[in-house]
Amino acid sequence: MFEGNAQYNIEDVKNRTYLADFQLNPNTGAQLLASNIPIETLSPGYLPNGNEFKWSDYEYATNPYFAINKVRNGDTKKRFIGSFSTTYNITDAFYARARFGIDQVNFDGFAIQPTGLAFNQPGSMTTDQSLQSETNLEGTIGFRKDVGAFSVNVFAGGNQMRNTFDGINLSSGQFNRPFQYFIANGRSQNFGINYSQVGINSLFASADIDFNNYLYLTLTGRNDWFSTLDPKNNSLFYPSVGLSFVASDAWASKPAWLDYAKVRTSWAQVGGGAPTAYAITQTFSAQSQQHLGQTLMNVTSPTLPTLLTPYTSTTTELGLETKIFNNRLGVDITLYDRTTTNDIVNATLPQSSGYTAVALNVGKMKNRGIELMLTGSPVTSENGLSWNVTLNTAYNKNEVISIAPELGLTSLRLPGATTRTENGWITHYQGQPFGQIAGSTYSRNASGQIIYNSSNGLPIAGPVVPLGKGVPPLAVGLNNDFTFKNFTAGFLLDSRWGVVFTPLPAHTVPSLV
């Protein structure tokens, strides 16, 4: 038997809006504008000579109309997704299966910062072209058979994953002819080539045992070999076991109001290697300059390579699922405990080291939580009117148990995870939830009063401490669907709770007047 499917998508986008606090985001300039100044006074955003109409001495407060009318970008993505499989039944019980899958993306994009832009007066442009593909080749052999009250399904096999990225970037700036946007027009031209390949080889096995269609046991085992790790430390085996009991099918007689009841529990391990290719490889590039007739080399990898090992995540779950009153009301609840050890992260290094970060296996992190889903049908009528409600709630308590006690580390600042003004960072602190927003506080005297700089009147920065967290521990979603005959309508309410937002202290905000 042969099966196959293919999908081809083309996405063509012009002038995506820049996001966050990026200066080309038109909303950034609009938010910085005083509320008593009509925004229309900034239109059309540029002067007769084509330069940006500046409304502030702060050059990065881009005129929002200039960002809309002059800034240009675009990209095209062509994506092919295909999967093909064939199965051969050796006997009634034994079978062999081969599968192949591919996901390939062709990307072609450009971005133009036009001539006259306040913070980049000469203008610049970039173009990017890339081809990224992931292929999976898998072969399995299996056995399935019913033996009395038991049903057995066992299989084993292997998988080969390959992910390849091949891209080129061209950039140009300081245009010889203003307002003419092509690479050759720039006095400053650069290019970059990026190629990487990541692979994972895997062997796996699974066994499903079913007793009388109400008691289920699942056993799995998998071993991965990661190309992103040293061959001496790139192997990881992780097993799992799951047990579930469908009580409503096991009972000879059950209450009339009970439609379905299931209890489940599981223990599982998963793991992984370094998230990027060549994380443990030292790379250099040749420079055009020479010294005493010898070619100079430059370190191209910003991350100091180290001997890494796979990380492991172990999860224990316990769940209950039930439906009552002719399936009018349902409850699905899960309790879990997850511990991650030897996670692979980048830690910031001083620039004097020649690197910006070092990749490390660090400590232990624990997640405990509860997930609850309630479903209900308050209205179900014979005339075709129905109302279905689903409430999803999840609470997760996260804690960094340890970071690197052997190195004396109790906190870890993530490289690159900083505010634009570089006065706030994402930092892990031992004993606290991961991903804390850290920044400097105000310096205070013995009475607790803020100390001000006598020369400019601004507050003086104090020590760097955790200021807040950006990962909400509580999530709640409420979905309502209404159906009447052939018409359907619905709405969704989604919320996140427990996040702490931290504003920039006054001594870090640039003057806009």
pLDDT tens digits, residue range 223-263? Answer: 999 999 988 889 999 999 999 999 999 988 888 899 999 99
Average pLDDT on 335-350 reads: 86
Indicate if 43 and 128 belong to the same structural domain. Answer: no
From the list 173, 189, 79, the residue with the least C-alpha distance to 130 is: 79
Residues in Cβ contact with 323 at an 8 Å cutoff, skipping those fewer than 6 apart:
259, 260, 261, 329, 330, 331
Separation of CA 303 from chain center = 20
Are residue 449 and residue 343 in the same domain, yes or no? Answer: yes
State how far Cα 362 lies from the chain centre. 20
Domain termination site, one of 203, 224, 259: 203
Q: Is residue 154 part of a domain?
A: yes
Cα gap 429→29, rounded to integer Å: 34
- Listing DSSP states for 84-99 in one string gives EEEEEESSSSEEEEEE
Question: How many residues are listed for the chain in this entry?
Answer: 513
For residue 129, pLDDT beyond 80: yes
Which of 48-52, 55-59, 73-77, 157-161 is predicted with the least confidence, judged by mean pLDDT? 55-59
**Is 367 a domain residue?**
yes
Overall average pLDDT of the 289-301 stretch? 80
Spatial contact of 437 and 502, defined as CB atoms under 8 Å apart: yes
Same domain for 58 and 190, yes or no, is no
Check whether the bond before 305 is cis (ω within 30° of 0).
no
Within a domain: 315: no
- pLDDT tens for 135-157 read 999 999 999 999 999 999 999 99
Compute CA distances 116 → 15, 40, 67, 113, 392, whole Å: 18, 20, 11, 9, 50
Domain co-membership, 369 together with 475: yes
The rounded distance, in Å, linking the Cα atoms of 502 and 421 is 14
Looking at the domain assignment, is residue 512 inside a domain?
yes
pLDDT band of 21, cuts 50, 70, 90: low
So what's the pLDDT on residue 302?
A: 63
Residue 416 within any structural domain of the chain: yes
Residue 482 included in any domain: yes
Residue in this structure with the two tokens 């006065």, named with its chain if needed: 423
What is the C-alpha separation between 462 and 118, in angstroms, rounded? 33
Query: Looking at per-residue confidence, does 502 or 499 come out higher?
Result: 499
Indicate whether 421 pLDDT > 70. no
Question: Residue 332: what residue type?
Answer: D
Q: What does the block give as tokens for 483?
A: 């159906």
pLDDT reading at 513 higher than 50: no
CB 144 within 8 A of CB 96: no
Percent of the chain having pLDDT more than 70? 96
The residue segments making up the domain with residue 30 are 19-69
The percentage of residues in the chain with a pLDDT greater than 90, rounded to a whole number, is 61
Same domain, 350 and 466: yes
Name which residue leads in pLDDT, 205 or 192. 205
Same domain assignment for residues 190 and 178: yes
Residues 6+ apart with CB under 8 A from 372: 331, 332, 333, 334, 391, 392, 393, 394
Q: Does 24 share its domain with 103?
A: no
Are 24 and 153 within one domain? no
| Averaged pLDDT for residues 12-37 | 87
pLDDT band of residue 356 (cuts 50, 70, 90) is: confident
Whether 14 is in a domain gets the answer: no
Select from 181, 203, 225 the last residue of a domain: 203
Q: What does the mean pLDDT of the chain come to?
A: 89
With respect to residue 355, please indicate whether it lies within any of the assigned structural domains: yes
Confidence band for 286, pLDDT divided at 50, 70 and 90: confident
Same domain, 409 and 485: yes
| Chosen domain end from 144, 179, 203 | 203
For residues 481 and 350, state if they share a domain. Answer: yes
Number of domain units in the chain? 3
Residue 170: which of 185, 195, 189 has the closest Cα? 189
CA torsion through residues 499, 503, 504, 506, sign: negative
Q: Which stretch of DSSP H or E encloses residue 248?
A: helix 247-250
488 and 398 inside one domain: yes
Residue 512 pLDDT greater than 50, yes or no: no
Question: Residue 113, exposed/middle/buried by CB under 10 A (0-12, 13-18, 19+)?
Answer: buried
- Does residue 471 sit in the same domain as residue 385? yes
Q: How far apart, in whole angstroms, are the C-alpha atoms of residue 497 and residue 393?
A: 11
